[in-house]
Structure 1
Amino acid sequence: MSSQNVPKSGSVAELGEFGLIRAVTENRRQPETTLLGPGDDAAVVAAGDGRVVASTDVLVQGVHFRLDWSTPDQIGRKAVAVNLADIAAMGAVPTAVLVGLACPAETTADLVKGITDGMWAEASAAGAGVVGGDVVQADQLVLSITALGDLRGRQPVTRSGARPGDIVAVSGRLGWAAAGLAVLHRGFRSPVTVANAQRYPEPVYAAGPAAAEAGATAMIDISDGLLADLGHIAEQSEVGIDIRVDRLDVNRRLVEVGTALGADPLSWVLTGGEDHALAATFPPFAELPEGWRRIGAVTMPDSGVTVDGKPYVEEPGWEHWR
């Protein structure tokens, strides 16, 4: 696990399982929803709504992050952000995060401490606590995160509620992480803002509950690509969706990077994953919440996901094992 980002320190084997746990949990502040945090057999988290929204993701070294591309802090932030974005996509408010960490015995304690620092920072920014988890020995670095959320009296916004005539809107940036991946694959480290978009996403967590309050009929976290994830809404709602290119924000910085790399920035926006923006559908005359922008409309069943009324001929986004 050698890289320029791995700090020189003792290993987790030298620190020991319980020493490592103490090192990453001591003197941490918890939100009010954490009734009992790390240190017991299980945590206790307040669920004022009476229902708990739960989601989990696994991040594997070399597949979801690379130590020669990202700092430990960035890896930790990404691991938590991709999970909390799922909570927001249900219209819920994040409350807690549980962490499973597997790593080789020779992993430096400072690397693990850096990753968990990032986790605590991202969770805190979303108003959630890191309430517990587990650490085990493995052949490579793997992070498993479970996130919890509170609906606060609202109904969950699922993928199955879109209806013909609804507005399709997004909140957050699109295409940046894909552009950052292209930059890093070419061996570059700049533009830093673009490269960092691949290293860790910046979801707008409050956008999910705001959309639910505004009457969103369906919603999804864009993890695999705009067209691919809208395809899930179209399938489960049994509708079609049409995206208008003139309503998409193809940022000037993405155009510059695309020109330099000989790539189409619009393809990044339409099919690039890992930005963890939110996409939602709203009733035809709904007033969109702040930060949401209209990009298309829900159409009749069996029309699929189209771009300017036509099928998109490239792969719509990422899918494991494809």
Structure 2
Amino acid sequence: MTRPRPLVPREDPADSVRVVGEFGVIARVLARAGAAPAAEVGPGDDAAVLRTPDGRVVATTDVLVEGRHFRRDWSSAEDIGHKAAAANLADVAAMGGVTTALLVGLACPPDTSTAWLEGVATGLAEECAPLGAAVVGGDTVSAAPDSGAVVLSVTALGDLGGRVPVLRSGARPGDVLALAGRLGWSACGLAVLRRGFTSPVAAVAAHRRPAPPYAAGPAAADAGATAMCDVSDGLLADAGHLAHDSGVVVDLDRTALVQATLEPPGPLQQVAAALGGDPLAWVLTGGEDHALIATFPPDAALPDGWTTIGAVREAPEGPAVLVEGEPGEIVAEALGAEGTGHVHFR
């Protein structure tokens, strides 16, 4: 593994938000925002106006705080834009919808470089473009100069295309649990960065820019998925949300999960071996990959990209997540993981 080059601070007051001003910043950012076909009225007025052919709007919001969700010495501005968009686009996909537009709120210190903000806007636009979405509005505000932290609040709006929204609460005993996307990669990349390294490149890149399987959400809805959610806090944690809301037990098949996530061997095994850990810990508890999990009737044909990793059972003793019959938290602890996933305010 290679260590990152030391950062050289660069002051550019002529390019700061303070000098360029609010509307100058907005103009520069919107120049990179892209276009949203669903927008009847785009950025520049008091509010945007979107066409909603379905008649319903999927809406979700995520807040990213510098130092908590991203670090500018670890990720480029474009990386941060991609990551901020991905967290929201995945939530819309998990409902069976497709994102049509984003609203972005920004709080930043007055000395923030507008070139950096343009990079964030570029990342947002690039992540949205394949879905036909774009930033259609938002707000900017000055953060406390002594805090030095940037805060991004992103709201995604989406369309269901006539589908019934797939909730977390629809799983039934007898259903199969399936996975689309990758697990453990972002957590592996974070472990690498925390130790001052930047390789394996694939793992670090996965932390900087998640790769959610956006198309898998609507495909699952069309295939009759009974419940679905994205994995943002960790597989055990988010499967736990699904189990609780549905009143069921989710039992993960360890062998199937390993085959789906750790074969063929790659960066996760390489880094785990170097650190003396087990890559399955990242698969079970690592967040921010924004994979999707869903339950399907046992006779359903899984769409392309979906792999069975477990089963849904009755919950006579209450909802739970098991790994081949053993409580998930016990398995995670045995693997050396701290808890079952990310917990806010912990």
TM, length-normalised to structure 1:
0.97
Shift of 1:304: 1.0
Q: Distance in 1 between matches of 2:243 and 2:32?
A: 46
Q: Find the residue that maps to 2:230 and give its secondary structure.
A: strand
Q: Find the residue that maps to 2:119 and give its secondary structure.
A: helix
Moved over 6 A (4+): none
Q: Find the residue that maps to 2:15 and give its secondary structure.
A: coil
2:311 counterpart residue number: 297
1:138 counterpart residue number: 143
Shift of 1:31: 2.9
Q: Figure out how many residues of one structure are paired with residues of the other and give that number.
A: 321
Letter in 1 for 2:320: G
Aligned 8 A contact 2:33 2:124 in 1: no
Q: Distance in 2 between matches of 1:119 and 1:273?
A: 20
Gapped regions of structure 2 (runs ≥ 5): 1-5, 334-338
- 2:262 is aligned, of 219, 232, 250, to 250
2:230 counterpart residue number: 221
**Following superposition of structure 1 onto structure 2, how do residues 217-296 of structure 1 map, counting pairs within 5 Å?**
217-248=226-257, 249-251=261-263, 252-253=265-266, 254-296=268-310
1:69 counterpart residue number: 74
2:343 counterpart residue number: 319
Q: Distance in 2 between matches of 1:23 and 1:303?
A: 50
Task: Report percent identity of matched pairs.
Answer: 57
Q: Distance in 1 between matches of 2:11 and 2:168?
A: 43
Q: Distance in 1 between matches of 2:19 and 2:157?
A: 33
The 3 A distance-change label for structure 1 pair 27 and 185 is: closer
The 3 A distance-change label for structure 1 pair 280 and 31 is: same
- 1:54 is aligned, of 54, 59, 62, to 59
Aligned 8 A contact 2:32 2:122 in 1: no
The 3 A distance-change label for structure 1 pair 130 and 244 is: same
Worse-matched range after superposition: 297-306 or 142-151: 297-306
Letter in 2 for 1:35: E
Q: Find the residue that maps to 1:97 and give its secondary structure.
A: strand
The 3 A distance-change label for structure 1 pair 303 and 119 is: closer
Q: Distance in 2 between matches of 1:233 and 1:120?
A: 31
**Following superposition of structure 1 onto structure 2, how do residues 82-121 of structure 1 map, counting pairs within 5 Å?**
82-121=87-126
Aligned 8 A contact 1:227 1:270 in 2: yes
Matched, 1:190 2:182: no
- 1:202 is aligned, of 200, 207, 211, to 211
Shift of 1:200: 1.8
What is the root-mean-square deviation in Å for CA atoms of aligned residues?
Answer: 1.5
Shift of 1:26: 2.6
Matched, 1:178 2:183: no
For residues 226-272 of structure 1, give each alpha carbon's deviation from its aligned partner in whole angstroms, at most 9, with x where no partner exists.
01000001001000000011111214221111001112100000110
TM, length-normalised to structure 2:
0.90
Q: Distance in 2 between matches of 1:207 and 1:4?
A: 41
Q: Find the residue that maps to 2:237 and give its secondary structure.
A: helix
Q: Distance in 1 between matches of 2:9 and 2:55?
A: 43
Q: Find the residue that maps to 1:143 and give its secondary structure.
A: strand
Matched, 1:12 2:36: no
For residues 124-161 of structure 1, give each alpha carbon's deviation from its aligned partner in whole angstroms, at most 9, with x where no partner exists.
12221110001110032000000000011111000000
Letter in 1 for 2:65: V
Aligned 8 A contact 2:210 2:288 in 1: yes
Gapped regions of structure 1 (runs ≥ 5): none
Letter in 2 for 1:49: D
